[in-house]
Amino acid sequence: MEISLEGKVALVTGGSRGIGRAIARTFAAAGAAVMVSSRKQDALDSVVDEIVGAGGEAGAFAAHAGDPDQIAACVAATVERWDRVDVLVNNAATNPYMGPVLDIDLPRFDKTWEVNYRGPVVWAQEVWRASMRDHGGSVINMSSTGGLAVAPFIGHYDVTKAALIHLTRTLAVELAPSVRVNAIAPGLVKTDFARALWEPDEAAAARLMPLGRLGEPEDIANAALFLASDLASWITGHTLVVDGGSLLRGAVH
């Protein structure tokens, strides 16, 4: 089955690599015009070149995902180019600290909240005001299975992802009926961001999963494509777990 986003405009944060890059490519292949955003322009340009080379339509805007002024500028640039934003994917995240929650220093505490929770709130505010209030749309927040369970050494990050799940439910009510808001909770996916969790022993990590392998960025992109499409038109406030079954065995990361 082909899922179409023909005629839609999508904005993907953290779109220069890993899951965000896969989502941008997948959305473009389904017919969407895609604005990708992250901090580094050269990495974004690479994504755009890849999409355009495959016959898609894309643009890039370098912005810090936790900076309100840069967020507003990125949304404004997207609307200026394509007149609207139909789909927002809040994918950008950071995890500058691993260890017990009680040992975290406040600068890294604040940075994690700034990008992982405050950022998605501001992105949603900006797309709502600039486009979705009048035209409707879909917001997809990238959470984590860590937001649904407790894992050692990554607790503070996981708390921000749990907050993002509750934000998803809250915004689903506040922005209804014209805007759907859903979340995806990936399990362990083979990305550079999660390298410290899977690289030491990929085979052992895969054995914890009923489906017998780690996730690939495309696994998450396919879930995002479904939630962004009209096939999910009666789904809102939902968190879709895409983890190879790892939560069934108590594995989180």
Nearest one of 217, 165, 161, 239 to 16, comparing CA atoms = 217
Task: Decide if 7 contacts 57 (C-beta within 8 A).
Answer: no
Residue 215 is classified by DSSP as B
Residue that is written with structure tokens 């362990």 in the block: 188
What are the residue numbers of the active site? Answer: 157
Task: Decide if 51 contacts 76 (C-beta within 8 A).
Answer: no
Q: CA 177 to CA 206: how far, in whole Å?
A: 40
Does residue 225 come out as left (phi exceeding 0), alpha (psi in the -120 to 50 range) or beta? alpha
Q: CA 209 to CA 212: how far, in whole Å?
A: 5
Angle at 110 between CA 163 and CA 156, to 5 degrees: 50
Cis peptide bond upstream of 217, omega within 30: no
Q: Tell me the DSSP string of 44-71.
A: HHHHHHHHHHTT-EEEEEE--TT-HHHH
What interhelical angle do 217-228 and 18-29 show, nearest 10?
50
CA dihedral over 158, 160, 161, 166, signed as positive or negative: positive
